[in-house]
Amino acid sequence: MDSKLKLIDRVSFIRLVILAIAIASIAIFGWSLTIWMPGQSYLQVLPPLSVTEIKLQDRLKQDVETLAVKIGRWNVDNYQNLVAAKDFLDRELTQAGYTVRAQKYTVDGKTFSNLEVEIPGSSRADEILVIGGHYDTAFTSPSADDRTGAAAVLALAREFVGTKPMRTLRFVEFTNREPPYSSTQNMGSQVYARAAKERGDKIVGMFSLETLGYFTDAANTQKYPLPLSFLYPNQGNFIGFISDIDSRELLRNTIRSFRAQAKFPSEGAALPSLIQGVGWSDLRSFWQQGYQAVRITDTAPLRYPQYHTADDTMDKIDFEKLSRVTYGISKVIRDFVGLEG
């Protein structure tokens, strides 16, 4: 009898060991698939801004002020202001030396426009990198932090004028990201990504620049969907890189490049698109067409209490850090497209 009990205990123990190994293996696999990122986040004191970053800071502040203050709220309910924002971006891109292509479409009797400029590639011209942000606002909010994405796209487009990339480089200002068109077929990025797929465009990567300007060192300011709160810092002082599982290769290459060159805190995750916040913004439109896309963001409402409220104003934006992040993104772009000369 004792020998039988010992055998049962031994079998039970073996089963528990196997179960523990299986659970540990699944946990390790999940971590390596979604959470592990190459390189190390920068955790030291931020160095002084370079001359280039100081100039970039001034230009970003000027452009956000034009979009968020001088023009003000603009969306389908403030249609004339939406047109004014589009005209400002069109004019600035033209003055930078680009030929602007307006992708126009009509909804409910109103004409909306995505704005695209392109630098053709050389040896790998068929491979396209899209840098995009949206220029419409939400509800009655000034949406200053939302404007940082559109301003960063404009700033990056200016920086690459006259360069010779091996891959084709496109900068796109999207319309109708916010309600009532968010997550519908009339969302600007949806219109753009569908048309790209129909043309057979070989988009090998898309960076969605979405809310880049709010940072705080205060504890317990950064929120996450469970169980991510156990894995990431609780200070909202980093820039986030987020993708779905299918885009994890692009995500890891992006954050590897950023961490190697930019002295700024960063965190990244490749997560199932159904998790809260993963598919926010224009990158989902590209996922739906089979393209890899990464969102670069301050995480918006997971950190920023004033997100989409009347208090989302310019004084909440840290333009020094916005400049650091934008300059870091420019280096990532240079790595991705490869510049000649």
Give pLDDT tens digits for 107-129.
999 999 999 999 999 999 999 99
* Over residues 33-53, mean pLDDT: 93
* CB contact burial 299-338 (16+ within 10 A = b; e otherwise): bbebbbebbbbeebbbebbbbbbbbbbbbbbbebbbebbe
Distance CA 184, CA 86 (A): 21
Closest among 304, 310, 308, 297 to 269, alpha carbons compared: 297
Residue 176 has pLDDT above 90, yes or no: yes
Q: What local confidence, expressed as pLDDT, does residue 30 receive?
A: 56
* Beta bridge partner(s), residue 168: 128
What is the chain's length? 341
Pairing of strands 101-107, 110-119: antiparallel
**Structure tokens that stand for 270 in this block:** 């490749």
The mean pLDDT of 193-198, rounded to a whole number, is: 98
| Confidence at residue 290, expressed as pLDDT on a 0 to 100 scale | 97
Among 200-209, 234-243, 249-258, 267-276, the range scoring the smallest mean pLDDT is 267-276
Separation between Cα atoms, residue 166 and residue 126, nearest integer Å: 10
CA dihedral (276, 278, 281, 285) positive or negative:
negative
pLDDT at 32: 59
Contact (CB, 8 A) for 202 and 196: no
Give mean pLDDT, residues 269-287: 86
**Span 264-288, average pLDDT:** 89
Q: How confident is the model at residue 232 (pLDDT cuts 50, 70, 90)?
A: very high
User: CA 6, CA 76: separation in Å to the nearest integer?
Assistant: 74
| More confidently predicted of 229 and 316 | 316
Q: How high is the mean pLDDT of the chain? A: 90
Query: Mean pLDDT lowest for which of 40-54, 56-70, 73-87, 260-274?
Result: 73-87
Who contacts 316 (Cβ-Cβ below 8 Å, separation ≥6)?
Answer: 144, 145, 213, 214, 304, 306
Per-residue pLDDT tens over the stretch 199-227? 999 999 999 999 999 999 999 999 998 77
pLDDT at residue 291 is higher than 70: yes
Instruction: Answer whether residue 96 shows pLDDT above 60.
Output: yes
Domain boundaries, the chain: 1-36, 41-337
Residues 52-55: contacts with CB under 8 Å, at least 24 apart = 52/327, 53/323, 53/324, 53/327, 54/323
Residue 61, token pair as written in the block: 């502040």
Which pLDDT belongs to residue 111? 97
Is the pLDDT score of 100 beyond 70?
yes
Task: Calculate mean pLDDT across residues 305-333.
Answer: 95
Residues 103 and 195: beta-carbon distance below 8 Å: yes
- Per-residue confidence (pLDDT) for residue 214, from 0 to 100: 97
Q: Is the pLDDT of residue 279 over 90?
A: no
φ, ψ for residue 75 (rounded to 5)? -165, -165
Token match 């931020």: residue?
A: 46
Per residue in 3-41, pLDDT (tens digit) is 655 555 666 666 665 656 555 555 555 555 678 999 999
Percent of the chain whose predicted confidence (pLDDT) is above 90 = 74
DSSP three-state, residue 129: strand
Assigned architecture for domain 41-337? 3-Layer(aba) Sandwich (3.40)
pLDDT classification of 230: cutoffs 50, 70, 90: confident
Backbone angles phi, psi at 120, to 5 degrees: -65, 145
Give the pLDDT score at 193: 98
User: What are the DSSP E strand ranges found in the chain?
Assistant: 101-107, 110-119, 124-134, 167-174, 202-210, 239-243, 266-270, 293-297
> pTM higher than 0.85 for the full model?
yes
Q: How confident is the model at residue 67 (pLDDT cuts 50, 70, 90)?
A: very high
* Main-chain phi, psi angles of 335, to 5 degrees: -60, -45
